């Protein structure tokens, strides 16, 4: 508003206050005091807009209605929420030439969640960062600072038992109930030993469905397919399938996964011939004894039918982790496992990590991480990483 217009409004505003001041002197104090006898309920929704209908409600239900109500058009739907997170890391890795000097990197993401009827959820993740520029073992998001849609998914509960999930950019195991309580920090040890059966290969399209039988017993299926011109579930495109059964209670659990994936080159998603069958079993236990850690275990094995040599067609991958949840003001954990799936009759390369996630403040966690990744090749040093990670959630 121009300055001249503001000056014209000033006398009008003063004129409005004059009758208010006059009426205040005539107030009946006895009537005012009686207001204290009326029950008035004030809660967190008291001062929100009173409209019960959002004219921009998803699905278009509000279109065509009277828009002269008190709805605040600048606000989100009451069923929409947003959460934000960012990870900053600094450190160095001895044994990796490009990372031996101290380096730093970061990523961030925004998760938008909307429910339309209380039994479903539309989830969109926006992310950006330079996470793969250095300290790659920490597996941060790398988009070259460009904001991108990491994944978009729709989840819906059908009845009391069935849940379905559709996604682009998500994992085929989204509704799997993995029996693992360990919160891993490094890329190798954060999946509890499920390298292939996690069905998170980035092919593009994903589907999952789960049935909660009750009393901790559940079943789930998953699919992941190449989202390209080759099409889904075709001879030309890459497809992966999985089935899981799990039994999980408050302080213990076990799960089993059987999966199958067509062999492909991850650099361009081109088929290389044959299929690989995967199986994995996970278990965890959380003792109810003070100062005892939760223990998590994972074992995955595979059989590639495209390899004729019976001594080279199978691999194994293991993981063991322990976690103390209440050590001071944080969580202490350590794990050991296979660096990569180990071909039968070959020497296994192992990796271990240790960390302490300190709750510095609400929404801020500071985590020092130490890891060693073994290299069995001659004249090749082991990798030793010392990294400090700070996570923000708001």
Give the tens place of pLDDT for each residue, 98-120. 999 999 999 999 999 999 999 99
Predicted structure pTM score: 0.78
**pLDDT digit string (tens) for 168-194?**
999 999 999 999 999 999 999 999 999
What's the rounded Cα separation, in Å, for the pair 387 and 378?
26
- pLDDT at residue 234, as a whole number: 84
In the predicted model, is pLDDT for residue 69 greater than 90? no
In the predicted model, is pLDDT for residue 61 greater than 70? no
What's the mean pLDDT when you consider all of the chain? Answer: 83
- pLDDT at residue 68, as a whole number: 44
Q: Which CATH architecture has domain 81-393?
A: Beta Barrel (2.40)
Please give the residue that has the higher pLDDT: either 195 or 10: 195
Task: Write out the residue limits of the CATH 2.40.160.10 domain(s) in the chain.
Answer: 81-393
CA end-to-end distance (rounded Å), the chain:
36
* Nearest alpha carbon to residue 180 among 281, 82, 112: 281
- Which range is least confidently modeled, 3-17, 107-121, 151-165, 367-381? 3-17
Cα separations in angstroms, 273 against 130, 293, 306: 34, 44, 7
User: What integer is the mean pLDDT of 323-329?
Assistant: 92
What's the rounded Cα separation, in Å, for the pair 224 and 202?
8
Question: Tokens 């729709």 correspond to what residue?
Answer: 154
- Which range is least confidently modeled, 5-19, 86-100, 210-224, 348-362? 5-19
Vertex 315: Cα angle to 355 and 375 (nearest 5): 50
Question: Tokens 């397919």 correspond to what residue?
Answer: 225
User: What integer is the mean pLDDT of 194-219?
Assistant: 93
In the predicted model, is pLDDT for residue 241 greater than 50? yes
User: What integer is the mean pLDDT of 230-236?
Assistant: 83
User: What integer is the mean pLDDT of 154-169?
Assistant: 96
- pLDDT at residue 43, as a whole number: 52
């Amino acid at each position: 508003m121009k300055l001249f217009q503001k000056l014209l409004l000033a006398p009008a505003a003063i004129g409005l206050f004059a009758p208010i001041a006059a009426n205040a002197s005539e107030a009946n104090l006895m009537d005012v005091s009686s207001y204290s006898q009326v029950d008035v309920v004030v809660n967190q929704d008291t001062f929100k807009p009173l409209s019960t209908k959002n004219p921009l409600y998803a699905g278009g239900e509000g279109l065509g209605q009277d828009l002269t109500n008190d709805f605040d058009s600048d606000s989100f739907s009451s069923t929409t929420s947003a959460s934000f997170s960012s990870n900053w890391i600094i450190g160095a890795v001895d044994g990796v030439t490009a990372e031996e000097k101290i380096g730093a990197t970061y990523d961030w993401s925004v998760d938008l969640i909307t429910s339309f009827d209380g039994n479903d959820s539309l989830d969109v993740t926006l992310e950006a960062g330079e996470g793969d520029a250095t300290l790659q073992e920490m597996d941060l998001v790398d988009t070259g600072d460009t904001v991108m849609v990491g994944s978009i998914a729709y989840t819906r509960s059908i009845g009391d038992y069935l849940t379905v999930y559709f996604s682009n950019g998500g994992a085929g195991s989204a509704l799997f109930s993995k029996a693992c309580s360990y919160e891993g920090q490094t890329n190798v040890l954060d999946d509890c030993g499920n390298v292939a059966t996690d069905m998170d290969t980035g092919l593009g399209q994903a589907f999952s469905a789960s049935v909660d039988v009750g009393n901790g017993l559940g079943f789930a299926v998953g699919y992941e397919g190449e989202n390209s011109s080759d099409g889904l579930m075709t001879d030309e495109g890459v497809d992966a399938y999985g089935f899981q059964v799990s039994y999980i209670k408050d302080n213990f659990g076990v799960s089993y996964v059987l999966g199958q994936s067509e062999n492909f080159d991850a650099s361009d998603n081109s088929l290389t011939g044959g299929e690989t069958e995967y199986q994995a079993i996970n278990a965890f236990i959380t003792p109810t004894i003070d100062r005892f850690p939760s223990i998590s275990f994972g074992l995955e094995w595979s059989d590639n039918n495209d390899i004729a040599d019976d001594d080279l067609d199978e691999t194994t991958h293991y993981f063991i982790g322990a976690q103390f949840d209440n050590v001071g003001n944080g969580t202490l954990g350590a794990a050991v496992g296979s660096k990569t799936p180990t071909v039968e009759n070959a020497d296994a390369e192992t990796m271990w990590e240790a960390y302490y996630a300190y709750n510095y403040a609400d929404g801020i966690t500071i985590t020092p991480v130490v890891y060693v990744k073994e290299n069995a090749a001659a004249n090749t040093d082991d990798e030793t990483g010392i990294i400090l990670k700070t996570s923000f959630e708001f």
